[in-house]
């Protein structure tokens, strides 16, 4: 398809002659006789080039040239002029004309000048397309780089999580071996102490100042034994019976057990628990420890009030639970340590609660992650398969 040219001249003989010359060379030619008609025609035809007379009534060539350059930068303009001063030539070129032709003109010179301008136009438009393609490619490359960086970050985080899980598993395994041996070695002397205390309780007179000491000894022995049991539960899975357990009901049950503490601390509870969550075969005592320990931790962080959120739902083929609070949150330096056995920042804590939760979740091929909420407070996300 040939490039179209619009001729704008108020002299009919000029438009007729120019049209004849350019049509014979294969150009698609249109003509108008005024500046206003030119602007209307350009809007419709979108010609490649406008041959524009400099001297015209109403809107002169310079006014039309300014309008075309503002509105249609891809349309090139060649000016017709009866004047040939250098000052005018400079003025026209500064205004945006690609060339100018003095009247009267030579037909071959007219064609040569027009073909040269159109050739330059094609080159410049192609260069512009190439620059746009280049910018587009650079943008796509930058986007690919961002996506690659995100994927690298995600994979790095996955590797860090996997490494952390391996380390945690090794710690729990080592703790299991240690506690099993310690429990055996400690319980033997504890049993002996308890037996001697019971004997003393029987032989000491009731009115003796020492009468209540044996019972105190027995109580402390039981407390030590309870600590041993809790320590063993961190590293070893209890052998409870597996039953169909509904986590939604379990979460509601645990919330009900903490209801008095929640009321006294003036904590607001937001529970979004899907009753249609499917059951899983598990030890209900074990699974209950998840919610009990996490909710207890949250309430310890909100003794002066706050908001406790408990979410249980099904998503992507797994049961997902989130327990979050509006407490102080988890210090960044502690995020990778909170599941370590014995690690605690609480004066009354033993460091057994979260390791126990981790052990239970993993024993059912689940995952747990800890973090902080944007508005403050800690959150724990748990994922358990149910299929």
Determine, yes or no, domain membership for 353: yes
Of 349, 352, 295, the closest CA to residue 324 belongs to 295
Average pLDDT over residues 313-327: 90
Greater confidence (69 vs 208) lies with 69
pLDDT digits (tens, 9 = 90+) for 347-371: 555 556 788 788 888 888 888 888 8
Task: Determine the average pLDDT of the residues in 140-155.
Answer: 90
What contacts 12, CB < 8 A, 6 or more positions away? 33
Q: Are 306 and 268 in contact (CB under 8 A)?
A: yes
pLDDT given at position 311: 93
Compute, in degrees rounded to 10, the torsion defined by CA atoms 221, 225, 230, 234: 130
Query: Among 65, 77, 79, 81, which Cα is nearest to 118's?
Result: 77
Over residues 299-322, the mean pLDDT reads 90
Which pLDDT score, from 0 to 100, does residue 347 have? 52
Q: What angle do CA 230, 231, 233 make, to 5 degrees?
A: 65
| 173 belongs to a structural domain | no
CB 270 within 8 A of CB 319: no
pLDDT of res. 50: 94
Mean pLDDT calculated for residue range 244-265: 91
Rounded to an integer, what distance in angstroms lies between the CA atom of residue 17 and that of residue 9? 11
Domain boundary among 70, 105, 140: 105
- For residue 313, pLDDT over 60 is answered with yes
Among residues 105, 130, 150, which one ends one of the domains? Answer: 105
Q: Does the pLDDT of residue 336 top 80, yes or no?
A: no
Going by pLDDT thresholds of 50, 70 and 90, the confidence category of residue 76 is very high
d(CA 386, CA 200): 54
Q: Burial letters for 274-292: b for 16+ Cβ neighbours within 10 Å, e otherwise?
A: eeebeebebbbebbbbbbb
CB 236 within 8 A of CB 176: yes
pLDDT (0 to 100) of residue 382: 92
Compute the distance between CA of residue 346 and CA of residue 21 in angstroms, rounded to an integer.
96
In a domain, 118, yes or no: no
**Structure confidence by residue, pLDDT tens digits, 11-45:** 889 899 999 999 998 899 999 989 899 999 999 99
> What one-character DSSP code corresponds to residue 332?
G
Enter the pTM of the model. 0.48
Q: What is the CATH number of the domain that holds 24?
A: 3.40.50.2300
pLDDT at 254: 92
Residue 146 lies in a domain: no
Pick from 105, 120, 149: which residue ends a domain?
A: 105
Domain that holds residue 70: 4-105
Whether residue 373 lies inside any domain: the answer is: yes
Out of 85-89, 142-146, 176-180, 281-285, the most confident range is 142-146
Residue 260 in any domain: the answer is yes
In a domain, 210, yes or no: no
CATH label of the domain that carries residue 349: 3.30.565.10
Amino acid 236: pLDDT: 54
In this structure, are residues 50 and 42 in contact, taking their beta carbons and an 8 Å threshold? yes
Per-residue pLDDT tens digits for 259-300: 999 999 999 999 999 988 888 888 888 888 889 889 988 998
Q: How far apart are CA 94 and CA 143, in angstroms?
A: 40
Number of domains in the chain: 2
307: left (phi over 0), alpha (psi -120 to 50) or beta: beta
380 within some domain: yes
Number of H helices, E strands in the chain: 10, 12
If one compares 89 and 134, the residue with the highest pLDDT of the two is: 134
Per-residue confidence (pLDDT) for residue 72, from 0 to 100: 92
- pLDDT tens digits along 39-70: 999 999 999 999 999 888 888 888 999 999 99
The per-residue pLDDT for 172 is 63
Handedness of CA 323, 325, 327, 328 (dihedral sign): positive
Residue 383: pLDDT band with limits 50, 70, 90: very high
Q: pLDDT value at position 339?
A: 75
């Amino acid at each position: 398809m040939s490039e179209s040219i619009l001729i704008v001249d108020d002299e009919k003989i000029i438009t007729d002659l120019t049209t004849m010359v350019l049509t014979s060379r294969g150009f698609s030619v249109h003509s108008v006789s005024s500046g206003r008609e030119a602007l209307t025609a350009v809007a419709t035809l979108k010609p490649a080039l406008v041959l524009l007379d400099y001297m015209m009534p109403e809107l002169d060539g310079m006014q039309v040239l300014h309008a075309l350059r503002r509105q249609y930068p891809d349309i090139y303009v060649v000016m017709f002029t009866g004047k040939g001063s250098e000052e005018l030539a400079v003025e026209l070129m500064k205004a945006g004309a690609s060339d100018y032709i003095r009247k009267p003109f030579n037909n071959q010179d007219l064609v040569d000048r027009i073909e040269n301008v159109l050739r330059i136009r094609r080159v410049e438009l192609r260069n512009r397309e190439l620059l746009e393609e280049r910018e587009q490619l650079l943008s796509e490359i930058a986007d690919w780089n961002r996506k690659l960086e995100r994927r690298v970050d995600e994979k790095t985080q996955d590797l860090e999580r996997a490494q952390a899980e391996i380390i945690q598993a090794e710690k729990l395994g080592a703790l299991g071996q240690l506690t099993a041996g310690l429990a055996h070695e400690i319980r033997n002397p504890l049993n002996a102490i308890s037996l001697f205390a019971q004997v003393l309780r029987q032989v000491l007179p009731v009115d003796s100042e020492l009468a209540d000491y044996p019972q105190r000894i027995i109580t402390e022995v039981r407390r030590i034994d309870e600590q041993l049991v809790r320590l063993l539960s961190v590293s070893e899975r209890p052998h409870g019976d597996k039953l169909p357990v509904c986590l939604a009901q379990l979460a509601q049950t645990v919330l009900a057990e903490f209801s008095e503490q929640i009321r006294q601390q003036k904590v607001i509870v937001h529970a979004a628990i899907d009753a249609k969550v499917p059951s899983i075969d598990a030890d209900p005592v074990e699974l209950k420890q998840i919610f009990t320990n996490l909710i207890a931790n949250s309430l310890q962080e909100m003794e002066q009030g706050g908001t406790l959120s408990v979410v249980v739902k099904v998503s992507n083929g797994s049961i997902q639970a989130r327990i979050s609070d509006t407490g102080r949150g988890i210090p960044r330096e502690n995020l990778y340590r909170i599941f370590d056995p014995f690690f605690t920042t609480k004066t009354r804590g033993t460091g057994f609660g979260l390791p126990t939760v981790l052990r239970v979740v993993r024993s059912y091929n689940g995952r747990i992650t800890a973090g902080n909420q944007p508005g403050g407070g800690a959150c724990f996300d748990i994922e358990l398969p149910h299929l």
